[in-house]
Structure formats: C-alpha cells, structure tokens
Amino acid sequence: MAERPPHEPTAPTAGGGAPAPAERLAPHRRPLVRSADQRVFFGVCGGIGSALGVDPVLVRLAFAVATAAGGIGVAVYLAAALLLPAPPPGAPRRRYRDRVQEAAGLGLLLAVGGAILSATGILLPLDVLGPGGLLLVGLALIWRQASPDATISLPELARADQRDTARTLIGLLLVGGGALLFLRLGTSATAFVSAAIAASIAAAGIGLLVGPRLRRARVEAEAERGERIRTEERALVAARLHDSVLQTLALIQRTSDARQAQLLARRQERELRAWLYGGEQAGAPETFAAALRHAADAVEADYGVGVSLVQTRDAPLDADLEALVAAAREAITNAAKHAGVEEVSVLARVTDGEASVFVRDRGRGFDRAAVAADRRGLRESVEGRMARHGGRATIESAPGEGTEVELTLPRKTT
C-alpha cells in the first residue's frame, strides 16, 4: 500500500491543502473533541490540532499523506469524526457559509484525483476500497453507539436515544454491505488482504495514541456532568434552606422570648414540611383540609397563638365547605384574640352526611348573655354564616372554663 500515490477521496477530510481561515495555534492544550471553529468537514483535524497544540494544517497534511498511502487517511478521518466527542454546545462555531466553499473545492479535488488515480491503477481498486470503507465506517458507528457519549446533555437524552438507534442500524447495514461486497471479490481479494493488514496496523497505532486520551476525556466529561447536576441540586436545596430555615434559626437565636421562638419554629416546621412532602403551596387551596390548614396557619401567624389542627378525612372544596372554613377561621381568631391562651385545638371531621369543625380553647371563657352585644364576630361571621348555608353553630362557654365552638354542616353527597 505504501507505494500507492496520494490523493484520494480522503483528501477532503484531511483538508490537506485547505487554507483553513481561522487557523491559529492553540495556546494551550485542550480536551480532544471535534472542533467547532476550525472545521471544514467534521472538525477532526481542527480538534486534534488544538488538543495537541499544533496547527491544524499540519494535521491535515498528515491525513493527506496517510490517504496517499492507500486510502487509510479517509477511513481514519471518518472513524475519528464518529468517535470524537462533539464540540461543547456553547463553543463558537465557524459559519457554514465560510466553510462550504472550501469543502466543495476539496471534495471536487478528491473526486477527480481519486478517479484519475484509480483509472491509472495506482490506487487500490475501487472494489476493494469501497467495501473496506463501508466496513470501517459501520464498525465505528456501532462502537460509538455502544460507548456512552459524554457530550449529550440531559435535555437531549430522549432525542439522543433515537439517534443512537439510527446509528446502530446504519452501522450494521454498512458492515453487512461491506462484508457482502468483500465476499463477491472472491479470489481477487488477495490484494485487499495486504491492504487490510497495513490499514489495521496503522489504525492500531492511531488507536494506541488517541485511545487513552479519548477515554480520559470521556470519563472526565462524565464526571463533570454528574458533578454539575449534583451541584445544581445542592444549590437549589441550599437556597431554599437559606431563605427559610437558616433565617428562622437566626431569628430564634436572637429571640429571648421562648414563646416567640416556639411560634417561629412551628411556622418554619410547617413551611418546610409543605415543601418536603409536596404541600398545597401554589394558588388557592382546593380541598377542605387544605383550606382549613391555610386558615389555621394564617391565624397562628397573625396572633401568635398555636393552632393544633386535627383532620383525617378530606373533601373537595365547595361553596358550603368554604363557608364552614370561613366560620371556623372566625372562631379560631376569636379564641386567639380573646381567650388568652397559647394554644387552640381544632378538630375537623368529614363524614358522608356532614362536615363539622370543633374549635376549643381552655381560656378565660365568657358569659354569652353579658358580652353578646359586642361579640359581632361570633354572631355574624359564625352563627349567621352557618345558618345561611344550612348549618348550625353551637357555642359553649363559661367564665373560666374555656370555650368550644361546634360548627356542623350537612352534606348533600350520598
């Protein structure tokens, strides 16, 4: 093969004589990936050049020489194009228009040169080169598919899946086609055998040179991506904790009032829990339990009184249940404002026939007859509201004995 003259369809790949415009010496070594800003065809020469810190033109020359030696250059170029990781997504790209002319010229040159050479018999016969090329490209496709591609970013995974499948299929087709063609060569294949041996030796050499570097680049990229994802997650959690838990802890440390500290802690606990276990955060609450929880939280925040809420069964919120929640909120507020207690107990029950809320405090209580006149809250917001929705409110209280408000609402559901 060595005696074979140069110029092959390969030459375009190598960009042998290509006046690569953006050529500049890479100031320092970079990971081995295909080049985006110095590419003519696939950016292989540019990529190798910047990874090795040499001018891409030199790399292209090397490929041209390899091509001249029986066409190996083309095969290696194509294989490298498939095997090297794509350039990072954000890298500056050489504009398509800038390189299309160059590529077209090179392609033409290669085609004409290849035709002349094979016509004069200097080149390996096309019927050997063709299938050989197919085989190599096919194998490369399959290999590439089989190894994880570090350059695929997460959102692209779904599409990448399809592309991988397509790649494998095409690879298999190419390998199969190449093998078939070889079989048809029959006895005249002896020339190929020597060519194949030389090509394998060259490929093995290149593989030894490039392989470890390539692998390391992949592994590094993989690790980097994993680290990035972890970092992003940690940042998210950290931001959340900082805005909530850390602030509250700071506040609690400065609070000498134990009661105040307790309230802060309770509130933080609720928030954190809602976040951790997926609460009813966004928008208006949609169920009875969520709405009542919301109301209890609001009172707790406004009046600094703990509301211990017990509710087991839930129901979708309708107009009647909304009224029940509003009345309950009023009752809780009343207890928080007037009872002089640190905690109010609330039980909410939903059964098939009715919904009820009990609001109880162990506070100072009151004599209804004596204060009824100025207790508009209870009369209007609680009793009136319940009555309008077909329910009832029972208020039990005595001075010094605490208060319990019982709200009951019939439900029409089966």
Least CB distance from residue 312 to another protein, whole Å?
5
- Are 303 and 334 in contact, with CB atoms under 8 Å apart? no
Q: Does 329 bind another protein (CB under 8 A)?
A: no
Q: Does 272 bind another protein (CB under 8 A)?
A: no
Which residue, 152 or 289, is less far from another protein as judged by CB? 289
Counting residues that bind another protein (by CB under 8 A) gives 23
Which residue, 240 or 270, is less far from another protein as judged by CB? 270
Q: Does 404 bind another protein (CB under 8 A)?
A: yes
CA 168: distance to chain centroid?
25
What's the CA gap between 368 and 250, in Å, rounded? 44
**Sheet of strand 402-410, all strands in order from the earlier edge strand to the far edge:** 306-311, 343-350, 354-361, 402-410, 392-398
Q: Does 340 bind another protein (CB under 8 A)?
A: no
Pairing type for strands 392-398 and 306-311 reads: unpaired
Which residue, 231 or 394, is less far from another protein as judged by CB? 394
Least CB distance from residue 288 to another protein, whole Å?
11
Least CB distance from residue 411 to another protein, whole Å?
11
* The binder of another protein chosen from 168, 244, 268, 311 (CB under 8 A): 311
* The binder of another protein chosen from 308, 387, 388, 398 (CB under 8 A): 308
Q: Token pair for residue 46?
A: 């540019």
* The binder of another protein chosen from 24, 29, 230, 273 (CB under 8 A): 273
What's the CA gap between 331 and 346, in Å, rounded? 10
| Cα–Cα nearest to 131, from 185, 186, 71, 178 | 178
| Cα–Cα nearest to 325, from 353, 360, 295, 297 | 295
Q: Does 293 bind another protein (CB under 8 A)?
A: yes
Least CB distance from residue 388 to another protein, whole Å?
23
Q: Does 345 bind another protein (CB under 8 A)?
A: yes
- Are 334 and 346 in contact, with CB atoms under 8 Å apart? no
What's the CA gap between 49 and 64, in Å, rounded? 15
What's the CA gap between 263 and 265, in Å, rounded? 5
* The binder of another protein chosen from 351, 387, 388, 394 (CB under 8 A): 351
- The footprint of another protein on residues 374-393 (CB under 8 A) is none
What's the CA gap between 71 and 12, in Å, rounded? 12
Q: Does 310 bind another protein (CB under 8 A)?
A: yes
Site residues for another protein per CB under 8 A: 266, 269, 273, 277, 289, 293, 308-313, 345-347, 349, 351-354, 358, 360, 404
